[in-house]
Each structure stands twice: as C-alpha cells, then as structure tokens.
Structure 1
C-alpha cells in the first residue's frame, strides 16, 4: 500500500478529487487531502484523511494530485495536474487553460481538444509529460451514483427537469440577468428546476435563488452538482464550464451570452427569449444533436466512468520512467515555487 495526496484550493475541486480517491482506495492505497484557501474547512468523506501542511510533508506521498492552478513543489512525489474545469475560453490561451506554470510533472488531459495543445507545449517545454485520460470528475455521470441523481429528480414527479448553473465571473454571469425569467418559469410549474451557483457568487445572489425553492424548484449545493447534471434533461447556463460537462452526456444546453458560442449551444442575448430557447432545447433538431455529439467527442470521448483509473495508470507510468527523463523545471517555475513557500511560510527541505 502506498500513500497519495490530493490537493485543492476551492470547494468546487472536491467532486474532481472524490472519484480519484475512490479509485485509490479500491486499489488498497491510503489517501489524504490537503485543502487550503477556498477549500479550507471542507472535507472529503472518510476514509480520506484531512491533513495540514506539516502532515502533508511528513506523509511523503507517492504522488500528489492537484485540482488547482498550483501545487507546493516541496512535497514528495510527482505533481499531477487534474484541472479544475474545461477550457471554456474565458481568457486567452496564454493566461487560461493552456498556461504552463512550471510546477507540474504530468498533465492528465480530458480529451483530444486539450491533448493536442498540451503535447505541443510539452515539445517546447519538456519538463512535463502529457497523457489523455479523461476527467475523473465525470466518472459519476457514467457509473452507479447510489441513487443520488434519482433522489434529486424525484420531486419532479415526471416533469421535465432543467438545471440552472452560473459562473461567478461578473461580466459573464447569467445569474443577475435571468433571475426574473427563471422565477417566471418556476412559477408556471410545467418543468422542475434544479438551481446552483458557483461558490464564489455574491451572497445576495445565493439569497435570491434560494428564495425560489419550493414544489417546482430545489437549490443544489456544489457537492451535488454531478448528480444534478445527471438528473437534468436540459441545462441553462452562461460561460461556466458546467456547459461542457453537461454536453458530454449529449444533452442540450441553453447559454446566455456565452463568450464563445458554438454550434452545440442554443445561445441567446435577451432574458425574454428564455421560454423560446427552452422549447428548442426540449425538441432538439437533428443538427443540434449532431453538434452535441461532435463537441462531446472532442472534449471528453470517455463514457466508461474510468477516467480515474486511467489517471492512476498514467501516474504509475511516470513513476516507472516510461516517459523518459523530464527536463528540469524552468526559472519561472522555480520562482513560483519560492513564492508558494513564502505564501505558506514553509522553508524546510521538502
């Protein structure tokens, strides 16, 4: 049995790490989680152990899996980037999904759309390896979820179910703009709504959307998001990466002012258009169905619920040296590692 460490800086990373924890435990390994910043105080269910900085160092993990943009490099073991979302083009590539920070040894990519760019980057910066594994967060969409999604859908009593999700980025968020339109849809009652917001959204937005809870709507916490996606028939959203997650199921998505609208989206600009867009989503055309399938295959073609196992296999291949000798980390990465030490107040040898 080996010891492995999970690392996260936000609560929304927990559903990414949980399937990986399950796969590690199923293989007989010990799993600890070091959760900091926005994830501090959160926990993954036992038998995952919650640890702090000194415990994480003393653990000497065989590998560290990070669902954050950074990871403390003074920890033992290779550092594996799990990603905290899909590439939804909120920012340009150099500042967004394809930014190489010089901290990670292995990038486990989600599908062809991200694998090719990262392999091109690895050719330029050979201090990391790239393996396409799929994304552990989506494993529960394609495995037995213990009835979690069925429980969320049960109050619908046979009605079609809509999930609303919104990003926290103020200039991109649909939540402030669509509240009245969604409230009207919920009041009508012909569909059941599951409502969720990014944990970083303003508290007053949470209060407004929670006020809609009743016989026609429920509010879903971040930890329930995967079950909610499985339960819903249609998604209403904006530029959140939940759009891509939902599309992997080949289900229609309605997007409000998406930053980079694509053929698989039913994008709209005016809140008054919401009823019309929902009608289209619940009766998708053949061309829309084809676009959904094409996009899903590009970003995440895996529907076997075993991405976590592929991540573990890729990590083992790295540990065994099957990717050859990696180059040393660049100066930018070493400087960033020093800044992380300073931020954490830790200067002892790793």
Structure 2
C-alpha cells in the first residue's frame, strides 16, 4: 500500500467530522502520505484543528494543491475539486427518511466515486445502487471513526478512578420531534440527584441552546455535561446508553453494550425501548443486568452493521483508495448536477471555470 507522494484532502463542514477523519489522517501520515484539511462553511470551528494539522483556505488553494483523493463524511462535495471522491459517512443508517420519502443514508447525489460502507447492513443496498448507477464503486471497510473505539486508552478523561458506580451516557438528537432531551429533563434531574449511577450527558452539536443550558444546570458530583467534537471517549467510558433515535446509539451497540431508548422510531429487539417517562429508570436497571440473551442479540446486530473490531478500518479504506488510484479504471461519468454544483460554487465563492 503506497501513500508516499500522494495527497489526501479531508473535506468537512461539521465539527464532528474531525473525529471521523482523524484516524484516516493518522494512518496516511504513518504511510508517508500528505494530508490537508478544507473546512467548508460556518458550522465548522477552525480552532478545532490541531497545531500539526494543515488547512487550505479556499477552493483555489485546494485546486492548486491537486489532491489525489478527497474524503467526505457528508453528503456532497464539489465536482470542480480534483481527486477521487470518497464517501465515508457521518454516521450509521438510523432509518431516517428525507423529504422525498427515501432513506437518507442511501440517497445517491452524484458526487462520489467510492462509498466505503460500514458492514453488511449497508453494503448490500449500496452494491445494488452501484449496479444501477455504474459510476461508483463500493467497498466494505468498516468506519474509520471507530478505530479508536477498539484501542486501549488509559488516559481517557471520562474514566474516574475509585468510582465503581455504573456510568450512564445520555445522548440525544437535535430534532425536536425525535429528541428525548426536552421530555426527560425532569426525570434526569431526579435521577442525577441520586448517587447510584454516574451520568455523562452529550448532545448533537445542533441541539437548541436552551436545552443545552438546562442540562448544564444539572451538573453535580453525579452528572457531567460534555461538549466535544469526539464522542468516542464517552462511548468507551459508559456502561449503558440512554438515547432516542440518534445514530450515535449504533456506535455504542458496536461495543456490545446495552442501549435504552425513549420513543425510538424503529424499536428493535437489540434495544430496550420505553415510551413512558416512569419506565426509564427500570429500563436502565434491566440493561445493566447484562443478561446472556440480550448480549447475544446485541452482538448479532453489531456484526450486521459493523463486524470489524480490529481498529483497522482506516487501513482498509486507504488500501481501496490506493488500489483505485493505481489501476486508474475508467467508469461512466457522474451526473452533471448543474444546479447543485452552481449552488456549491456560490457557497464557496468560487466562479473560475
């Protein structure tokens, strides 16, 4: 696998994308490749870049740098940026339906040359789409964002020494009609005043500020509210998750740990789902029993969505990308998407032709 003298661009538009792409960056650099970042739009914080990470300021700089491959944890990337366009996804398939009535995870927007899927659950549908559209490849690699999930981290700041209480991680999506955070506030306030559990609370970065401030006000010796661009250390530190319909719950399940959901839109046997506020505490207690039957159900599902637990998904992604670059296979052209590309040019203030 040769990365030497090749250039790889990390193209992001959200803060959570840093953690998704950094395992790829680490692997590329270890193999002698070059990495640059391009931060699109106003929703990504440039201060989250590390001192040793380099960015390109505008599209003209990106084009001049001429990357060999572009990694995107979002839905779109401009066609006027050079390089093999690689979709690595911003999360798992959570079953969310877009305004067209289609599963958003499998929406094809004509931007990518390669989709790197996370496991059998998504590989099959993308292979069928590849047969239909013919202009992109599909490789089941696992998700690079999870590589750190399967490595030992003795310095995890959320592991508390000499505190043997079970740790509950509460996560929630920002969508008001899906979010459990506003509804469960009083219950979490009540439970966090007890000492039997340690609570970590982390929300989607788009969560309304008023909800964030309410939960921040609950902080005490039993509950910590965490704002971070990297949820992996929290996932590793917790024993059970309380969530709603956010795809982050799938990341937790992959560790073979139990998840309690509140009014999940797609309740399944690998989740302990409740619809009433008064059922939350009992469901968490049940989850912490870690019964053999429940562990098997969770394990089977984890193998279906992400069978890789070796921490080597980044290596598999780069292997496939370099293989495609080496062979230079010709595929049918991607759709022109003229209107979409014009919108991207306007957004990025790039009008050179």
**TM-score, normalising length: structure 1:** 0.94
Question: Aligned to 1:309, what secondary structure does the other structure show?
Answer: helix
Q: How does 1:32-111 map to 2 (within 5 A)?
A: 32-37=36-41, 38-53=43-58, 54-91=60-97, 94-111=102-119
Q: Which has the higher mean CA deviation after the structures are superposed, 125-134 or 56-65? A: 56-65
2:333 is matched with 328
Please state if 1:133 is matched with 2:141. Answer: yes
> Contact 1:261/1:267 (CA < 8 Å) preserved in 2?
yes
- The runs of 4+ residues in structure 1 deviating greater than 3 Å are none
> Contact 1:187/1:216 (CA < 8 Å) preserved in 2?
yes
Please state if 1:260 is matched with 2:266. Answer: yes
Question: Aligned to 1:223, what secondary structure does the other structure show?
Answer: coil
Q: How does 1:196-345 map to 2 (within 5 A)?
A: 196-321=202-327, 324-331=329-336, 333-345=337-349
What is the rounded CA distance, in whole Å, between the counterparts of 2:117 and 2:235 in structure 1?
A: 21
Unaligned runs of 5+ in 1: none
1:163-204 deviation digits (Å, cap 9, x = unpaired): 000001110000001111111111001110111011101001
What is the rounded CA distance, in whole Å, between the counterparts of 2:33 and 2:297 in structure 1?
A: 41
Q: Which has the higher mean CA deviation after the structures are superposed, 339-348 or 172-181? A: 339-348
> Contact 2:96/2:103 (CA < 8 Å) preserved in 1?
no
Correspondent of 2:186 among 169, 175, 180: 180
How far apart are 1:258 and its partner, in Å? 0.7
What is the rounded CA distance, in whole Å, between the counterparts of 2:107 and 2:47 in structure 1?
A: 27
1:228-277 deviation digits (Å, cap 9, x = unpaired): 00000000000001110000000000001111111100000111111110
How far apart are 1:41 and its partner, in Å? 2.7
1:301-343 deviation digits (Å, cap 9, x = unpaired): 0000111111111111111237x42111124x34422331232
How far apart are 1:3 and its partner, in Å? 2.0
Question: Aligned to 1:196, what secondary structure does the other structure show?
Answer: strand
What is the rounded CA distance, in whole Å, between the counterparts of 1:207 and 1:246 in structure 2?
A: 25
Question: Aligned to 1:52, what secondary structure does the other structure show?
Answer: coil
Q: Which has the higher mean CA deviation after the structures are superposed, 78-87 or 337-346? A: 337-346
What is the rounded CA distance, in whole Å, between the counterparts of 1:118 and 1:334 in structure 2?
A: 24
Please state if 1:3 is matched with 2:11. Answer: no
What is the rounded CA distance, in whole Å, between the counterparts of 1:202 and 1:79 in structure 2?
A: 33
As a proportion of its length, which structure holds more helix? 1
What is the rounded CA distance, in whole Å, between the counterparts of 2:282 and 2:162 in structure 1?
A: 21
2:127 is matched with 119
2:165 is matched with 159
Unaligned runs of 5+ in 2: none
Correspondent of 2:20 among 16, 21, 42: 16
2:35 is matched with 31
How far apart are 1:35 and its partner, in Å? 1.4
What is the rounded CA distance, in whole Å, between the counterparts of 1:129 and 1:143 in structure 2?
A: 29
> Contact 2:16/2:230 (CA < 8 Å) preserved in 1?
no
1:15-48 deviation digits (Å, cap 9, x = unpaired): 1011111111111222111112211434332322
